[in-house]
A and B are shown apart, each in its own frame.
Chain A
């Protein structure tokens, strides 16, 4: 049993490595065929730029800065989403309000709010966080509310018939029963956070106190540092894969998968 699990993990690791190798190989092939290193840099120069950025700390510093902002943005958004979804469940008219807010505000690209946010909050991290929370909150809230709305009636009735009400019913029945949707909300929120942060920095340069990865790409573009830009993109993708594997996959493993719920 345990051996089986370990060999499964090894297998999946092997496939990941093979997949990455394949992508690098194909990339290198394209670079050779096109033979235009300025616009399509060879894999080796991208990897060496990545290595350099990681070892001299410049890329790491910017990654750390971006991650910090993203975690704060996610944290604030989760708090707000929890609050708004609870209010929507407990107070009927509030649910209507939430849905109106979502349909009005979700289509507004965060970047379009940045000028306003800068006027309101001045330069610094506040306008960035404002734009990020705006980008994360609405899809997250929508997923949570949709999840609650599609909880099978039977769980609600069983919950009420054993004596659960109000907040307790939500916490003990609605939340576990909608974990698949809640996770989907977190995933969407996570990718929206990156988009908001990077696009803000790329349009407006350093808005925060220091530059993050968006600023990194922006400044590399000025110097036409193609390998460097791709190195930064690789860092962003690696973080994405890491979070998916280390966080979301594990949460799913100890919840919905273990419970035999459909995802």
Chain B
């Protein structure tokens, strides 16, 4: 059985009396350990898809199955990293933001253990020395790294990331992409990663879901054909890179 199964999923909203379809009849399955990148133009429903999987939205039709069970409400089945920088609790320190969810989900027996686990993940994202800072004392990139540490520390079966690096400068972005790819390969996580960038999608993913702005036929769900050393980013020098770039570009910007 696959980890995640999206079954004929549609999401419609009624905006000011008008029906608006974010996407319709989307189906795919994903096995554990995959790194799926979701790309597509603005407004094609990427965030909506992640929010459906996270359980924030009830499907208009179809269903989301995780380990065969329908997702009904947000909770511990997955960890979500949002598009915005303000997803840390400002009233908790960096350490508190990472360790508190561990206590909530009883993934640590006591505060001391939660603290130790949180410190390990803060170490991974290079923020151990900032444990006692409050979020407002961090830069945007550091905040996103704390959010990543918070999600990873929970060791969820599925991690949902909504353009987590979009508003970062190029250097920080590349650094975080490298870290994420390394962590993913070391931990056997399953990642759903939304991005606007075809380059980022090719560099990170094992599978790609491209949502076009046009009719559903323009969708594409396939293995990323560009190969690279495991745990490392794929670069333009990887074989097949430019062909695949052109193919995705045609789907995303027809």
**Interface-lining segment among B37-45, B76-84, B196-204:** B76-84
Docked-complex contact B104 and A163, CB < 8 angstroms: yes
Docked-complex contact B101 and A259, CB < 8 angstroms: no
Number of B interface residues in the complex (CB < 8 A): 26
Looking at chain A's contact residues, the main secondary structure is helix
Q: What is the 8 Å Cβ interface bit string for chain B, positions 187-201, against chain A (1 contact, 0 not)?
A: 000000000000000
A35 touches B (CB below 8 Å): no
A177 touches B (CB below 8 Å): yes
Docked-complex contact A154 and B90, CB < 8 angstroms: no
B75 touches A (CB below 8 Å): yes
Q: How far is the CA of A155 from the CA of B90 in the complex (A)?
A: 10
Docked-complex contact A154 and B82, CB < 8 angstroms: yes
**Interface-lining segment among B114-122, B130-138, B238-246:** B130-138
Docked-complex contact B91 and A255, CB < 8 angstroms: yes
A55 touches B (CB below 8 Å): no
B19 touches A (CB below 8 Å): no
B74 touches A (CB below 8 Å): yes
Q: Which of B76, B82, B90 is A157 in contact with, Cβ under 8 Å? A: B82
Docked-complex contact B86 and A260, CB < 8 angstroms: no
Contacts of A154 in B (CB 8 A): 82, 84, 86-87
Q: How far is the CA of A177 from the CA of B103 in the complex (A)?
A: 20
Q: How far is the CA of A179 from the CA of B89 in the complex (A)?
A: 13
A173 touches B (CB below 8 Å): yes
Docked-complex contact B75 and A160, CB < 8 angstroms: yes
Docked-complex contact A155 and B89, CB < 8 angstroms: yes
Give the shortest distance, in Å, between B241 (CB) and chain A (any CB). 35
Number of A interface residues in the complex (CB < 8 A): 21
Q: What is the 8 Å Cβ interface bit string for chain A, positions 171-208, against chain B (1 contact, 0 not)?
A: 01100110100000000000000000000000000000
Docked-complex contact B137 and A163, CB < 8 angstroms: no
A158 touches B (CB below 8 Å): yes
When A and B form their complex, what is the total count of cross-chain residue pairs whose Cβ atoms lie within 8 Å?
A: 62
Instruction: Given A161-B54, A162-B104, A162-B105, check contact A259 B76 (CB 8 Å).
Output: no
Give the shortest distance, in Å, between A180 (CB) and chain B (any CB). 11
Instruction: Given A162-B104, A260-B135, check contact A157 B86 (CB 8 Å).
Output: no
B154 touches A (CB below 8 Å): yes
Contacts of B104 in A (CB 8 A): 162-164, 168, 172
Give the shortest distance, in Å, between A1 (CB) and chain B (any CB). 15
B13 touches A (CB below 8 Å): no
B56 touches A (CB below 8 Å): yes
Q: How far is the CA of A128 from the CA of B80 in the complex (A)?
A: 52
Docked-complex contact B82 and A259, CB < 8 angstroms: no
Docked-complex contact B76 and A163, CB < 8 angstroms: yes
A123 touches B (CB below 8 Å): no
Residues 191 to 241 of chain A near chain B (Cβ within 8 Å): none
Q: How far is the CA of A127 from the CA of B129 in the complex (A)?
A: 57
Give the shortest distance, in Å, between A7 (CB) and chain B (any CB). 23
Q: Which of A155, A162, A168, A176 is B101 in contact with, Cβ under 8 Å? A: A162
Residues 52 to 91 of chain B near chain A (Cβ within 8 Å): 54, 56, 73-76, 78-80, 82, 84, 86-87, 89-91
Q: How far is the CA of A152 from the CA of B86 in the complex (A)?
A: 9
Q: How far is the CA of A160 from the CA of B79 in the complex (A)?
A: 10
Docked-complex contact B84 and A261, CB < 8 angstroms: no
Docked-complex contact A163 and B75, CB < 8 angstroms: yes
Q: How far is the CA of A260 from the CA of B74 in the complex (A)?
A: 28
Q: Which residue on A lies nearest to B83, using beta carbons?
A: A154
Give the shortest distance, in Å, between B171 (CB) and chain A (any CB). 25
Q: How far is the CA of A161 from the CA of B105 in the complex (A)?
A: 11
Contacts of B86 in A (CB 8 A): 152, 154
Contacts of A5 in B (CB 8 A): none
Contact surface of B with A, Cβ cutoff 8 Å: 54, 56, 73-76, 78-80, 82, 84, 86-87, 89-91, 100-101, 104-105, 134-137, 150, 154
The 5 closest A-B pairs by CB, nearest first: A260-B136, A162-B101, A176-B91, A160-B74, A259-B90
Query: Can you name 29 A-B residue pairings with CB atoms under 8 Å?
Result: A152-B86, A154-B82, A154-B84, A154-B86, A155-B89, A157-B56, A158-B80, A158-B82, A158-B89, A161-B54, A161-B56, A161-B74, A161-B79, A161-B80, A162-B76, A162-B104, A162-B105, A163-B75, A163-B104, A163-B105, A164-B104, A172-B100, A172-B104, A173-B89, A255-B91, A258-B134, A259-B136, A261-B91, A261-B136
